[in-house]
Amino acid sequence: MVSRVNVPKGGFNFDNYQRNLILQQNGYSMPKATKTGTTITGMKFKNGVILGADTRATGEALVQDKNCPKIHRMAPNIFCCGAGTAADADKVTDMVASQLELHRLATGRESRVTTVLATLSQYLFRYQGHVAAALVLGGVDVDGPQLFSVAPHGSTDKLPYLSQGSGSLSAIAVFEERWRENMERDEAIELVKDSIKAGIFNDMGSGFNIDLVVIEKGRADFYRNIETPCPTIEKIGNYKFQPGTTAVLSESFRNFVTITEGDAMDIS
């Protein structure tokens, strides 16, 4: 007996179009994308690559997490910053990182940045932007320091400095003014910190702390909460008021009966 195999159709899939149209005609509103905020940056310097990110995770007008880690370890020599939907960025980077680990165990070789780039790009292109992960990828391998950006649709860029997220315009302005080739490590760290600060101070979706990772040949230094540009201010006033401060217009008291186990409830 021969079983028939359903071969997947190529191109875009519009199977749910008619269903969604009927749902909208019946008054059901389709879900919309949630506005998020982030500032992630990366730049090359004399001996390697530096990646930076803020730590605020938002959903519409609400701050969901004040210390969200946005720098993901892909390999000992490769890291990736994620913007967009936090769950999508976490899932994509974790999946690729696990594949790289298996590849290193099988080959005994160091991971290459282009391998990570191709895997991320192909995966995101497959979903045509519905996996909302905008990434800044950096690392140092046999080809030296490398820096790439990956858009949610899968397109890539290779530049000496990059930025993604809602605060990227402010951050990239700092790089355009001050970046130059072969910067020293300490000077480059300050430049990346200032680029993240620009996003924090000019974008409502970015804020709180700054995370950095400095990747050089044979080493990677991760700095969690290296700086807090907007520290939490202690409350000046005391908001506990004494009884009687506010006038009471009326009072009402009710007696509640406690029913112990085994007693019958009177429902008459």
Active-site residue list: 38
Compute the distance between CA of residue 26 and CA of residue 22 in angstroms, rounded to an integer: 6
Compute the distance between CA of residue 207 and CA of residue 222 in angstroms, rounded to an integer: 19
Q: Identify the burial level of 257 via C-beta atoms within 10 angstroms of its C-beta, where 0-12 means exposed, 13-18 middle and 19 or more buried.
A: exposed
Determine how many CB atoms are found less than 10 A away from the CB of residue 228: 14
Name the token pair of 107. 């080959």
The DSSP annotation for 49-106 comes to EEEEEE--EEETTEEEESS---EEEEETTEEEEEEE-HHHHHHHHHHHHHHHHHHHHH
Residue 215 contacts residue 79 (beta carbons within 8 Å)? yes
Pairing mode, strands 210-216 and 161-164: unpaired
Integer-rounded Cα Rg, in Å, for the chain is 26
Residue 53 contacts residue 38 (beta carbons within 8 Å)? yes
